[in-house]
Structure 1
Amino acid sequence: MKKAILQVALDLLELKRAVQIAKEAISGGADWIEAGTPLIKSEGMQAIRALREQFPNTVLVADMKIADTGSMEVEMAAKAGANIICILADADDAVIAEAVRSSRLYGTKLMADLINVPDPVSRARALEAIGVDIIAAHVGIDQQMIGKDSLELLKTLQGEIHIPVAVAGGLNAATACDAVHHGADIVIIGGWIVRSADITGSTELIRHSMDSSSLKAPEKKGLDEEIQSLLMQVSTPNISDAMHRKGALPGLVSLCGDVKMAGKAVTVHTIAGDWAKPVEAIEIAECGTVLVINNDACVNVAPWGELATLSCLKKGIAGVVIDGAVRDIDDIRAMKFPLFARAIVPNAGEPKGFGEINAEIQCCGQYIHPGDWIVGDESGVVVIPRERAYEIARRALEVKKTEARIREEIRRGSTLSAVSELIKWEKK
C-alpha cells in the first residue's frame, strides 16, 4: 500500500495555540501542516508567516477557500510562505484559471475543495483539465453532523482523475486506513488531532492507521444505536453547549448521584400523584427508553416509588424523569437507577388512571414528544428533538473534544482566560 501524506488542519482561532499544536503533531508524524480557514480569518496572513517561521522545512497548506480574485489571494498566501493553496471547487472557471496561473508564477500548488459541489466527479475532471494540482474530497463539519460521509465522496472519485486526491471531514484513527485503501493520497485530519489532550499520541495513532494494511474501520451501527453510543460519551453540559444553551429541564436532580442515561422518550401525563399511567407506561416502554412523567410539578404526592423502579430495572428501561416527587428513595438509591425528579416525599397517590401515555407533554417548561432523546447525568437532564438527535450527539462530542484540549493546556500552566483570549474576543 502506498505511503499517504498526513495533513493536520489547524482549525483554531488562536495562533499561539496553533503553533504549539503543530509542533506536537509534527513530532507525532504529521507530514503537512494546514493553516485552517478559521485561523486565517482570525489572524490573517500572519498565521501563515508565523507557521512558516516556526516550520521552515514543512509543507504548509493555506486553506484560503478562494471564491474570487484568484490571482490576488494565491499571491498573498504564496508570499506569506504557503506551499499549497486551497480554492473552492465551485468557484467560476475564470477564477480557477487565474488562480492556476498565479500558482505557477509563485511556485505553489493549488488544491480544489469539493465541499458542496453537486456533481463532484464531473467537476473534478474539469478542474484537472484547467490545471488544478490536487482535488480535496471534503465533507464540511456541519454536513458531517447530519451524517454525510467524506469516505463515500472519496469513493466516487476513484479512477476518475489522474492527479492526487485528498480527503477531509470527520476522519479518525478508525477510518484513516480506509481512506488510504480507497485511494487517498493525502489524509487531512482536524478535530481528532487538534482537540486531543495528547496531540502527539493521537497523531501517531493516525499515522499507524494510515500505514497499516490490515486495519479496518468498524462496521457502522444502526442509527439509534449510534446516537445512544454518542450520547453516553458526552455530558449534559456538552449537549447544552451543542444546542446553543437550550434543551435543559431545570429543577431536576439525580436522586441516585453519579448515574447516566440516554434514550428515547416515552411520555406520560398524570395528575397529582396518580400513579396508574406511569406504571402502565412501563409495560409499553421498550428496553433502552426513558420514561418522562409530567406530574404537573406536584411535589406533595409521589407518582413513583421503589416497586415501579424495580420494574423498570428488570425491563431494561434506561431511566425515569419526573416533573414532580418520588418516594422510597433509600431503596431506589441502592439500585443506582437513573432517576431524576424535583423532590422526595413519603406520600403516595392513588391509581385512578387519569392522563395519557405517548402524547406531547410539558416537563420543566420544555415540550417533549414521544421519541425525543433524553439524556441525564449529575449535571441535570436535557431533551433533544428526535429529528436533530444524531446531529446534536455529533456536535456534543466535538464540544467534549475541544474541552479536552483546553483542559490539557490549563494543566500545563495556562488559564481559561489566556487559552480563550477573552479580552481579544470580547464583544465590541
Structure 2
Amino acid sequence: MTELPQRGAVWREDIRRRFLAVDTSNVADVLDTLGLPDQGLAPQFAPYPATTGQLAGFAYTIRGQMTPFPLGGDAEKMKACQGVSPGEVTVWSGDGEGICYFGELIAIGMKEKGCVGALVDGGIRDIRWIGEQAFPVYARYRTPVQSIGRWKVNASQVPVLMRGATSRYVEIKPGDFILADDDGAIVIPAERIEEVLAEAERLTAVEVNIRRDLSRGLSLADALAKYGHV
C-alpha cells in the first residue's frame, strides 16, 4: 500500500467540513469521471436514526468475524476503539449477520475521542440513545442481538471489504474518506481526496446557480443549454 504524506489536524478538519457541504451524488459523478465507478456502498446502508444527518470523516477500519466465545466482553473491540482519532469515522466490517457490532456505550466512548461517526456493514442497536448523542451512524440493519459471545473483533486499521452498490465489495483502507447522506454512502480513496473534493465543490456551485435561475423563471431546457449536463 502506497504511503501517503501525513496531514495535520487542521487540514483534516478543513477537508471534513468542506465535504459536509457537498452531496454524495456529486462525489459519485466525479469519481465516475476519474475512472472510479465502483466506490458507492450497497443501498441497504441507511442512517440510524433517520434524522442523523450527514456522515463525513476519515476511515478508521475495524474488522471482525463470527466466533463463539464466553460472555464477558470483547477486549479486542475495546482495544480497537481506543485507537480512534479526531475526525475519523469507524468503519466496521465482517461476516456477522443478525447481530449488532456496537451500541450506545461504545458510541459514547468513540465520540469522547473525537470520532465523528460510524459506518457499519452489519447491525447496530440502542438507536434512540445513539441519536441523543448526535453521533451519525450508517448501518445495514438494526437488531437487538448483541455481538458478545457471537462476533469478535480480530483486526483494526487494515484494508477491509464492505458491500458495494455496483460491485460485490468496495475496499476501504485506513485514511480513505467516507461520505454518507440521504442518497447513500460512498468512499473516496485517500490519494484522490483533494482532487475529488475540489471538483465536487465546482459541481455543487453549478447546481446552486441552476436552482437559482430556475427559481427566477428560467426553463429547464434553457438552464441545461446554459450550464450543460450536471
TM class, shorter-length: 0.7 to 0.9
- CA distance in 2 between counterparts of 1:355 and 1:309 reads 19
Task: Give 1:271's aligned residue.
Answer: 65
Give the SS at the match of 1:309.
helix
Tell me if structure 2 keeps the 8 A contact 1:264–1:371. Answer: yes
- CA distance in 1 between counterparts of 2:83 and 2:107 reads 15
Give the SS at the match of 1:243.
helix
Instruction: State yes or no: 1:342 paired with 2:146.
Output: no
Q: CA deviation at 1:333?
A: 1.7
Q: Please report the TM-score for the alignment, with normalisation by the length of structure 2.
A: 0.79
Q: CA deviation at 1:362?
A: 0.4
Structure 1 residues 399 and 232: CA distance shift in structure 2, 3 A: same
- Superposed, 1:260-299 pairs within 5 Å as 260-272=54-66, 276=74, 277-296=76-95, 298-299=96-97
Tell me if structure 2 keeps the 8 A contact 1:266–1:281. Answer: no
Instruction: State yes or no: 1:390 paired with 2:194.
Output: yes
Per-residue displacement from partner, 1:67-103 (whole Å, max 9, x unpaired)?
xxxxxxxxxxxxxxxxxxxxxxxxxxxxxxxxxxxxx
Q: Could you tell me which of 26, 29, 34 is aligned with 1:238?
A: 26
Q: CA deviation at 1:325?
A: 0.7
Matched positions, count: 203
Task: Give 1:333's aligned residue.
Answer: 131
Instruction: State yes or no: 1:405 paired with 2:198.
Output: no
Largest Rg, 1 or 2: 1
Structure 1 stretches lacking a partner, 5+ long? 1-220
Question: What is the one-letter code of the residue matched to 1:341?
Answer: A
Task: Give 1:255's aligned residue.
Answer: 48
Structure 1 residues 413 and 278: CA distance shift in structure 2, 3 A: farther
Q: CA deviation at 1:264?
A: 1.2
Task: Give 1:316's aligned residue.
Answer: 114
As a proportion of its length, which structure holds more helix?
A: 1
Structure 2 stretches lacking a partner, 5+ long? 1-8, 164-168
Tell me if structure 1 keeps the 8 A contact 2:23–2:181. Answer: yes
Give the SS at the match of 1:401.
helix
Give the SS at the match of 1:271.
strand
Structure 1 residues 385 and 263: CA distance shift in structure 2, 3 A: same
- CA distance in 1 between counterparts of 2:61 and 2:132 reads 26
Tell me if structure 1 keeps the 8 A contact 2:63–2:156. Answer: yes
Per-residue displacement from partner, 1:326-366 (whole Å, max 9, x unpaired)?
11112112222110101111000126644211111101221
Q: Could you tell me which of 171, 174, 194 is aligned with 1:367?
A: 171
Q: CA deviation at 1:278?
A: 4.3
Structure 1 residues 226 and 334: CA distance shift in structure 2, 3 A: closer
Q: CA RMSD in A?
A: 2.5
Tell me if structure 2 keeps the 8 A contact 1:235–1:377. Answer: yes
Q: CA deviation at 1:299?
A: 3.8
Higher RCO (CA < 8 A, seq sep 6+): 2
Give the SS at the match of 1:382.
strand
- CA distance in 1 between counterparts of 2:138 and 2:219 reads 34
Question: What is the one-letter code of the residue matched to 2:155?
Answer: E
Question: What is the one-letter code of the residue matched to 1:249?
Answer: L
- CA distance in 2 between counterparts of 1:354 and 1:413 reads 56
Per-residue displacement from partner, 1:36-80 (whole Å, max 9, x unpaired)?
xxxxxxxxxxxxxxxxxxxxxxxxxxxxxxxxxxxxxxxxxxxxx
Structure 1 residues 299 and 334: CA distance shift in structure 2, 3 A: farther
Q: Please report the TM-score for the alignment, with normalisation by the length of structure 1.
A: 0.44
Question: What is the one-letter code of the residue matched to 2:224?
Answer: S
Q: CA deviation at 1:258?
A: 4.1
Q: CA deviation at 1:421?
A: 4.1
Give the SS at the match of 2:22.
coil
Q: CA deviation at 1:287?
A: 1.2
As a proportion of its length, which structure holds more strand?
A: 2
Tell me if structure 1 keeps the 8 A contact 2:80–2:155. Answer: no
Give the SS at the match of 1:280.
helix
Question: What is the one-letter code of the residue matched to 1:232?
Answer: L
Q: Percent identity?
A: 26
Tell me if structure 1 keeps the 8 A contact 2:61–2:157. Answer: yes
